[in-house]
Amino acid sequence: MTDNNQNLSPRAFAVEMSVKIEHILNVIMAQLLDVKHEDTKSFGNSSQALSFNAKANLLLDLNYLDKELRLKLQIFMEIRNKFAHIYIVDTFEKCFEQTNNYNQLKKLFGIDKEGESIEKDMEYMFIALSMDIAMNLNKINDRIHSEMAVRYTQRRFREAIKTKREEYKSKHPENAKAIDDFIKFIKDDLIAEVDQKIKDNIPPHV
């Protein structure tokens, strides 16, 4: 365990890591919806908040999760749930006896050797799993931030075209028709693209 968590029991450590990772999920989902996660029912701290799995499935549906990361999140929550809900599960060895996914994790992380202590091996595996998930979720968060910046720039560009169009035409009347023709050309081209996507049964925003 890390220095800050080295005195925690396996159960406390697993729950602590799940709280941190779910917080990252909440931040990601709130950013996608442009809301503050602490102010929402779905991503806040109330009993009405979406489950961990529901949030992960939303990211999967939105193509932000690949299948391997979704699998890692599923295994992570299985471990967390065993520690949180089964009294006798107080070690990683007892936990993995219940989940039956330790060998699956070893395969995912390319580990084919055992150490001197199976409990330590399993603890380190859980740490590796937690760090891998956190790192990938942070990458997704950065990706969403970049995409939102692009969308904001595109929206501002459209707004600028709309607001500055008449101003430019009044200052340069000799170019007015060319400006209108160009904008009509772009508009017609976009409409044709959307119509073709609808005809091909493809979502227009894709």
Q: What is the mean pLDDT of the chain?
A: 84
CA–CA distance, 167 with 165 (Å, rounded to integer): 5
CA 121 to chain centre: 28
Its pTM stands at 0.72
Q: Supply the DSSP string of 57-112, one letter for each residue.
A: HHHHHTT-S-HHHHHHHHHHHHHHHHHHH-TT--SHHHHHHHH--HHHHHHHTT--
CA–CA distance, 157 with 206 (Å, rounded to integer): 20
Confidence at residue 1, expressed as pLDDT on a 0 to 100 scale: 56
Confidence at residue 44, expressed as pLDDT on a 0 to 100 scale: 65
- pLDDT above 70: residue 102: yes
* Structure confidence by residue, pLDDT tens digits, 136-159: 999 998 888 888 777 777 777 777
CA–CA distance, 94 with 43 (Å, rounded to integer): 31
| Higher per-residue pLDDT: 186 or 76 | 76
**Hey, what are 162's tokens?**
């709309």
**Closest listed residue to residue 72, CA positions, set 11, 112, 125, 8:** 125
- pLDDT above 60: residue 26: yes
For 180-200, what is the mean pLDDT?
75
Confidence at residue 185, expressed as pLDDT on a 0 to 100 scale: 80
